Amino acid sequence: MIELLLDHAGGRPLRVVLLGAHPDDIEIGAGGTLLTLAETRPGLVVHYQVMTGTAGRHEEARAAATAFLPGARVTLRLLDLPDGRLPAAWSSVKDSLEEVAATMTPDLVIAPSPMDAHQDHRTVGELVATVFRNSLCLAYEIPKWDGDLGAVRPSLYLPMSSEVARRKVELLSACFPSQKSRDWWDDEVFLGLARLRGMESRTRYAEAFTCTKAVLRC
């Protein structure tokens, strides 16, 4: 297992763009990563953007951004594009991402996978690499009834301590009460996937990502 260190030039704060098709996508896919970055990267600068959502769901997203990124400098952008129909809103999604890229060059972009079975997730994921060409782009995974977790093998893992993994699960339930009635939304699903990814990366818990392109400097 080869370990890599997330670094950036000039000693400035790390700049991160977080993208989700829906409120809760970011936290399900990368909540432990967010908690870890907020703890280990002083001055963390974050642009947090969700493409869809009602007013109530946007309030949940705001609460989650605060809870998962304590101490970070967070800019929120919560859009109301049509849920379930982002492929038909392709131009609006593309324009919104280009606007972000015009204002900052992130060190890291965390977004849905272009191989995700959900059409909204997939639309965002497919556009990320064409917009953020000079950033490290990591695609997270979201467990759901579509059964698409085996579509792409993870290529990068971020280990989580037991405390961070359980904190992620606690915050998911606390920040997104509108989703707790879903039959797949429970602690066992989230911790079970984290434990499996931890086993694969020889640690207790982990979040898994795919990375299609990276540059290694020796």
pLDDT at 53: 98
| The token pair that represents 134 in the structure block | 């000079």
**What is the residue whose two structure tokens read 């059964």?**
147
Q: Are 21 and 121 in contact (CB under 8 A)?
A: yes
pLDDT at 150: 82
pLDDT at 32: 98
Helix H segments across the chain?
25-40, 55-68, 90-103, 119-131, 162-175, 187-200
Q: Are 159 and 206 in contact (CB under 8 A)?
A: yes
pLDDT along the chain (218 residues), means of 10: 71 94 98 97 96 98 98 98 98 98 96 97 97 96 91 93 98 97 94 98 97 84
pLDDT at 9: 57
pLDDT at 130: 94
**Domain layout of the chain by residue ranges:** 13-210
Is this model's pTM higher than 0.75 or not? yes
Beta-bridged to residue 19, according to DSSP, are: 49
Fold of domain 13-210: Rossmann fold (3.40.50)
Nearest Cα residue to 66 out of 46, 96, 51, 43: 46
pLDDT at 5: 77
pLDDT at 206: 98
Cα separation, 29 vs 183, whole angstroms: 18
